[in-house]
């Protein structure tokens, strides 16, 4: 990567706290040494109270920004199955889950910095303006100082801007894109980028050029305020180590959104 002295700093985020009961997912303690923001599951797709407590405590201890990662109520499907919900239901889901994680943050001497919807809810809100509006209003009503993460240039980002929230346009290091700017559904071939060198080039174009190559071969405009690496992937630690090094070697400053 070639450093641009005028480039904004970049947030490096990871979805985590996704263990549940006796089941374990992700190497959160190790990942927290490399990311600047943590999106922590709130119990609806993963994450029980003990896991939420432990993950928030780890993040605060490593000076990583703590964010809520609310989901559709879908433990069995890990929050990745589309559900038909009303805007009012979406509002309530966000208020409930953000409040739960914010409680742990306060109890542990920290505070919540951001909200990033998870999985199907995130992808639905990227396209559905009424759903996006409900989520943005819920985040604002929870705490108007919270930052809303959403897919770059999506309806969720626009809804957040309209209600006066600080928003972060998000791009993905380990996911491919469609020509309309959406993420390739996980049910389709080539949805995931599994080669770290391919991912680094993918990230370079998004961060430096503001473009991503879709699976259809067209360039799609993006904005990279925050870059996501999924913590539940087996290659997550290798990806975050090598991508962070590539970014810092190019002179890009890594910091939470707004810092």
pLDDT, residue 49, reads 97
In a domain? residue 209: no
Residue in this structure with the two tokens 């390739």, named with its chain if needed: 184
Domain assignment of residue 119, given as a range: 11-173+223-233
The number of folded domains in the chain is 1
- Report pTM: 0.94
Q: Is residue 243 part of a domain?
A: no
Residues 197, 110: Cα–Cα separation, whole Å = 36
Q: Which residue has the tokens 């919807």?
A: 117
The mean per-residue pLDDT over the stretch 24-46 comes to 93
List all residues 6 or more positions away from 3 whose beta carbon is below 8 Å from its beta carbon: 250, 251, 252
Q: What phi and psi values does residue 30 have, to the nearest 5 degrees? A: -70, -40
CATH number of the domain residue 157 falls in: 3.20.20.370
Query: Is 130 a domain residue?
Result: yes
In a domain? residue 21:
yes
Quick one: pLDDT at residue 2?
35
Nearest of 38, 34, 29 to residue 245 by alpha carbon? 34
Q: Are 69 and 13 in contact (CB under 8 A)?
A: no
pLDDT digit string (tens) for 187-236?
999 999 999 999 999 999 999 999 999 999 999 999 999 999 987 778 88
* Cβ contact 248:203 at 8 Å: no
Which pLDDT does position 234 carry in this prediction?
A: 81
> What's the alpha-carbon Rg for the chain, to the nearest Å?
17
- Residue 167: closest CA among 219, 215, 132: 132
For residue 108, being part of any structural domain is answered with: yes
């Amino acid at each position: 990567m070639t450093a641009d002295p005028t480039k904004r700093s970049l947030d490096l985020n990871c979805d985590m706290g996704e263990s549940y009961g006796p089941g374990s997912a992700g190497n959160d303690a190790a990942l927290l040494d490399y990311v600047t923001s943590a999106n922590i599951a709130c119990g609806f797709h993963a994450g029980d109270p003990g896991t939420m407590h432990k993950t928030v405590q780890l993040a605060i201890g490593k000076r990583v920004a703590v964010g809520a990662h609310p989901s559709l109520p879908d433990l069995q499907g890990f929050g990745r199955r589309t559900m038909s919900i009303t805007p009012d239901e979406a509002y309530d889901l966000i208020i409930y889950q953000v409040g739960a994680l914010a409680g742990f943050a306060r109890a542990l001497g920290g505070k919540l910095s951001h909200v990033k919807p998870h999985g199907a809810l995130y992808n639905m809100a990227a396209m559905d303006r009424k759903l996006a509006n409900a989520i943005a209003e819920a985040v604002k009503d929870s705490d108007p100082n919270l930052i809303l993460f959403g897919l770059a240039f999506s309806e969720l980002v626009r809804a957040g801007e309209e209600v006066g929230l600080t928003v972060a346009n998000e791009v993905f290091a380990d996911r491919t894109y469609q020509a309309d700017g959406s993420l390739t559904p996980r049910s389709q071939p080539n949805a995931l980028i599994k080669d770290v060198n391919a991912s680094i080039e993918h990230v370079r174009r998004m961060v430096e050029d503001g473009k991503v190559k879709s699976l259809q071969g067209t360039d799609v405009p993006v904005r990279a305020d925050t870059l996501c690496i999924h913590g539940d992937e087996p290659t997550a630690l290798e990806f975050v180590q090598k991508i962070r090094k590539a970014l810092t070697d190019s002179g890009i400053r890594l910091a939470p959104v707004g810092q």
